[in-house]
Homo-oligomer: A and B are copies of this chain.
Amino acid sequence: MTEPVFRFSIEKSSRECLARAGIIHTRAGDVPTPVYMPVGTCGTVKTLSPAEVKELGGSIILGNTYHLYLRPGTEVLDKFGGLHRFMAWDRPMLSDSGGFQVFSMKKLNRISDEGVMFSSHLDGSKHWLTPEESMRIQRSIGAEIMMVFDECCPFPADAATAGSAVERSVRWAGRCRDDHPPMRAGQALFGIVQGSTFPDLRLESLRRTAEIGFEGLAIGGLSVGESKEEMIGILDRLMPEMPKDVPRYLMGVGSPEDLFRGVERGIDMFDCVLATRIARHGSVFTRGGRVDLTALPWRLSEDPIDRSCSCYACRTFSRGYLRHLFKAKEILALRMASLHNLTFLVNMMSEIREAIFQDRFLALKLEFLGGYLNQKEKK
C-alpha cells in the first residue's frame, strides 16, 4: 500500500448507451467498475466484519470524515496509521469530505467563505471544518480516494441559493486542490459537481470543477428529495459533458433501479447506506422486488430470501427463521439482511459489468427491472 498509483482504465464502452466498464487501479488494489461501494460510516460496514465484506465481493468501501473526525478522532487514526489498519480493511477505500453531513445534519452554526462551524451530534461541542481541515482529516483516514469539501445546498433551493453554493464550492475545490496536489501522500482527490436541479448551474459547476483538474469527478446533491425525473433529467444533461477519462461517481445513490439508471448514463461509482439501513429494518432486495422479512406470510416459509443469491444467509436460512430473528430482535437478523443486501448489489453490479462487455446492458436492465419493479414490496 505504499506505491502512489492511481489510474483509471476504460476496458469497454457500450455500443448501446453511455455505460462503460473499467478498472480503477490503486495502491490498495484494483476496483472493477461500475462499482457499488458499501458504506462504513464509523469505520465499519454496519453489522459486518471486513472479512465478510471481502467475501461478498466488496472491492472498495467508504469512510465518513464527519463521523471519524468526531470519533475516534485523528489522533487515534494517526496512531494506527490510518483507517485501513485501524479497521483491518486492506482493499481500496474512499473518504467523503464531511460536507454533506455538516450541511444536512442541521448541526450548522455558521458558514463563511473560510469554512463551516458545526456542533457535534455526540456532545454538542463546536468545530470548524474548512477545505484544508477536511484534507487534513482525510489524510489521517488515508483512503485511496478523497473528496473535496463542498457546500451542499438544501433541497429544494432557489437558483440564487444553488448558484452561490456552486460559487463557493468551486472556490473550496480550488483550495482543496492547492492543499492536496495530485497524489499527495499517495491519495487521489475527486471534485464534486453541484448545482441542485438547475441544468445551467450544473454545467457551470462541471466546467469550472473540471478545469481545476481532479483524478475523478463526482455528482453531489442528487437523491436528496428531488423526483426521479429531475434526477434523471440532470444526469441526461450532465453526463454527455463529463470528461471521459476519469471515474465518475454519483454520490449517495444506491437503489437497484438507480444503479441501472446511473450506469446507463455513464456513472462508474455509487455509494449508499440504503442497502444496509433498510436491511436493519427487515427489508431485503430480491429479483422479484423488495421483501419485508418481518411480514406474517413468511412465518412458515422455508424459502430463502432469494433462490439465486449466493450469500450465507440465502444458503443457510429460511424466510421463516429470519422473520423469527427479526421478531425476537436478534442481532443475527440485522447481520443476515445486511449481508444479503450488499451481496445482492455487488452481484448485480458484476452482472451489469459483464453485460456491458457483451453489449447487452439494455437487455439486462429490461429483464432485471421487469422482475424487480413490477411488484410492490412483498408482505
Q: Interface of A with B (CB < 8 Å)?
A: 42-44, 46-51, 67, 71-72, 75-76, 79-80, 86-88, 299-300, 302, 312, 316-318, 320-321, 324-325, 327-328, 330-332, 334-336
Contact = CB atoms under 8 A, between A and B. Distances in A.
A327 B71 contact: yes
Nearest to A313: B49
Contacts of A324: 42-43, 71-72, 76, 86
Given A49-B312, A88-B317, A42 B328 contact: yes
B300 A49 contact: no
Number of copies: 2
A332 B80 contact: no
Nearest to A49: B332
B332 A47 contact: yes
B332 A76 contact: no
Given A72-B324, A299-B72, A330 B42 contact: yes
B49 A321 contact: no
28 contacts: A42-B330, A44-B325, A44-B328, A44-B332, A46-B332, A47-B331, A47-B332, A67-B328, A71-B324, A71-B327, A71-B328, A72-B299, A72-B320, A72-B324, A72-B327, A76-B299, A76-B320, A79-B300, A79-B302, A79-B320, A80-B318, A80-B321, A86-B318, A86-B321, A86-B324, A88-B317, A88-B321, A331-B334
A312 B51 contact: yes
A199 to B, nearest CB: 40
